[in-house]
């Protein structure tokens, strides 16, 4: 079965600091990879996705993620965070062999101090 591990549950940063959130998954086959964001009191929104091609994926709001197949990783990055990036971030994986069911990590709560 697939599993997703997010390295940090809580991250606190000051504005303008750089962000990297770790995500590792367990499945060795072909995967689809996603990062979702949940702002306080809101539903999940897609930040970015990787299906194939360039392993460096750019998403909305200045976020990017790099797929490293050899490390089973899909880390999320942002060079300079803003107070408005305060949210919970979820990494998710799906694979055709598992019926494309989305499997989520436990989430990372990011708090950006102004």
Partner 1 sequence: NAGVTQTPKFQVLKTGQSMTLQCAQDMNHEYMSWYRQDPGMGLRLIHYSVGAGITDQGEVPNGYNVSRSTTEDFPLRLLSAAPSQTSVYFCASSPTTGKNTEAFFGQGTRLTVV
Q: Which residues bind partner 1 (CB under 8 A)?
A: 4, 6, 9, 30, 32, 34, 36, 42-46, 49, 51-52, 90, 92, 94, 96, 99-107
Tell me whether residue 55 or residue 79 sits nearer to partner 1 (CB atom).
Answer: 55
Q: Rounded to the nearest whole angstrom, what is the least distance from the CB of residue 70 to partner 1 in the complex?
A: 22
Q: Which tokens belong to 49?
A: 């996705």
Tell me whether residue 75 or residue 105 sits nearer to partner 1 (CB atom).
Answer: 105
DSSP 85-113: G-EEEEEEEE-GGGTT--EE---EEEEEE
Q: 61 φ, ψ to 5°?
A: 60, 30
Q: Rounded to the nearest whole angstrom, what is the least distance from the CB of residue 83 to partner 1 in the complex?
A: 23
């Amino acid at each position: 079965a697939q599993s997703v591990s997010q390295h940090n549950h809580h991250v606190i940063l000051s504005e303008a600091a750089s962000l990297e959130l770790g995500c590792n998954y367990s499945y060795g086959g072909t995967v689809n990879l996603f990062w979702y964001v949940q702002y306080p009191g809101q539903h999940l929104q897609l930040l970015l996705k990787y299906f194939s091609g360039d392993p460096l994926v750019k998403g909305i709001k200045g976020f990017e993620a790099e797929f490293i197949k050899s490390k089973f990783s899909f880390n999320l990055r942002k060079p300079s965070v803003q107070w408005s990036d305060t949210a919970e971030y979820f990494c998710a994986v799906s694979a055709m062999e598992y019926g494309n069911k989305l499997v989520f990590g436990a989430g990372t709560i990011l708090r950006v101090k102004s």
